[in-house]
Structure 1
Amino acid sequence: MPDAIAVEALHKRYGDVQALDGLDLTVEQGAVMGLLGPNGAGKTTVVRILATLLRPDSGSVRVCGVDALREPERVRPLIGLTGQYAAVDEKLTGFENLRMLARLARRGRTESRDRADELLAEFGLADAAGRLVRTYSGGMRRRLDLAAGLIARPEVIFLDEPTTGLDPRSRTAIWKVVADLSAAGTTVLLTTQYLEEADRLAHTVVVVDHGTVIGRGTPQELKDRVGGERLEVRLQDAGQYERAERVIRGVVGDGPCSHDDEGRISVAVAGGAMLMPELARELHAAQVVVADLAVRRPTLDDAFFALTEPGEGSISGADPAPAPPEAEHVTAVTAGRTDQR
């Protein structure tokens, strides 16, 4: 069974800026892949190429086994796209938006109405179906936008930062939708600036910077590369650092301790939770006043910063690639369309 997405040696340049530089990417059918990277790393360029909205300078792109560069018209009925901003018509109702997009996807009148009703119910918008979209909240608009991308029942859907600007409740609702899509067999490529989102949803994570892949693996694999547990002590008085370090070394051994000017001490440990009671007792006995004591495990944020730190591909070095001519505010109903190139 071929991968749902297979990209090899993808290059794209905007003037003097190399947006993609030999990028390789594969996504298994039914999987969720999180595509991460600093601003300007090339994530949206990848999505636009996969969605047949933009042509690369070189490389190969296959979606569901179809060559997306040679036969984009065959790819479009297979995919859906939700961009970084909701792209629904505020002057129409939620129902009218979805019905119109279904008709553009060459569905019959009855099928278009039924599909619109089905998606409105699925996304918790049935009660707002007859309201103008301009009265919708931001979270409701994002859900409607995502529903629009599913009009044609795509096998692959591209979600380009789908939860940007949403409150935690709305973001959680979108997360459930993405998880349900994957469980139903839809392949999802997700770009996001929220690393917690990728950690929660993605089966595989790919980190890109300066247009090339600099890390890939499951979220846990990427976190494991950063290191194991760290025991962190925050002192009430940073002047007690030397005394606290002696106590910590006496309990956890002679591993390297790091500290900052605000009284935080960090040391790598194994079985940190078992060491905490003894360490708390010894610190108290040494009259070291502790504001906080915790065991911290690596997060995807830690892995991201380790991969994109200066010298590896700086997170502050986002390339200034100009926006492509086509606006990014787009929800693609791709079935049957030939005007998206």
Structure 2
Amino acid sequence: MSRHCAYCLIEIQGDQIKKCAGCMRRAYCSRECQVTDWTSKGQTHKLWCKEQICEEDIDWEIRQTPHKGLGVFAKRDLPKHTRIMVDRGYRTIQETPFAFIDSLVPTNGTLQEKWDTNSFYTPEGGDNLGIRLARVNHECRNNATNKFVPDLNTFILIAIRDIKQDEEINIQYYFYNDFSTSKEIRDARPSIIKPKWEVDCKPDCICLDQNIRDRIQKAHELDASIPSLPLRTEDQIKNALKQVDTLIEMSQELSSGIMPLARTYYDGFQIAITNKKTFPLHKKYIEKYLEACQVVESKHSLAYREALQYLQTPSSHRNHY
């Protein structure tokens, strides 16, 4: 079986394949690429070696997909919450190796056009480019989602449902169902995804379903109201937690996986610890928040370490009664 070097991405075969001695899964074409990939110049494999992250050519592969050029496909069944790939985030064109960015679409485009087409913007990390992540195509009914973790300078691609062998892995480039954003931002979605990625949703697409759009707006309004709910009495706090539970149920119906739930779990924790009588209720929220941080951002992230601290010592949070 041929492999691809995990750092420089070239195809290698036979004696050319050099495996990581730790996980025995990750492949390299040379000692130089392996050393680079071990550090932050590559994918920082030293963090992920024992984490059972999926690998190209073993768990997923890049191949042609109808009407979209290249895509990423599962080579085996991938259970929900499987971490499909970690991919370094390049922050500028200048720091991205030329061969990496030059391999991307548009085929005959300038480096700036390739960057603009394939990079992702996040409020936490600005514009970042993941070379392997750039091969993952858009789908409104996505089966995976990605998160850029700024303190790790890494994209993490996660399955949000069970993915079957030979199924294409896809994400949303711009969420239609992110209830944390305003209606104006959600309504601007078609004007962004069509010119940038040539995504032209058909009238029967789930993202245009008016019933779903109305429910997303109701979730947004509830989400926006929670921080301003009164929390002076036990009854008020219990009412606020009831609203949090309602939003969690709505999110599970409407959102793309566990990522949007994290902030709502955290809200529940922050509210529950404000009163001695409701304090015992905090545990279910912080446990779920910790789980979400582990799945989406990994145990190596600052968010996970902070969540673990609050689980172990909830009194360290500023909202503690």
Normalising to structure 2: TM-score of the pair? 0.27
TM-score by length of 1: 0.26
Higher share of residues assigned strand: 1
- Which fold has the larger relative contact order, with Cα–Cα distance below 8 Å and residues 6 or more apart in sequence? 1
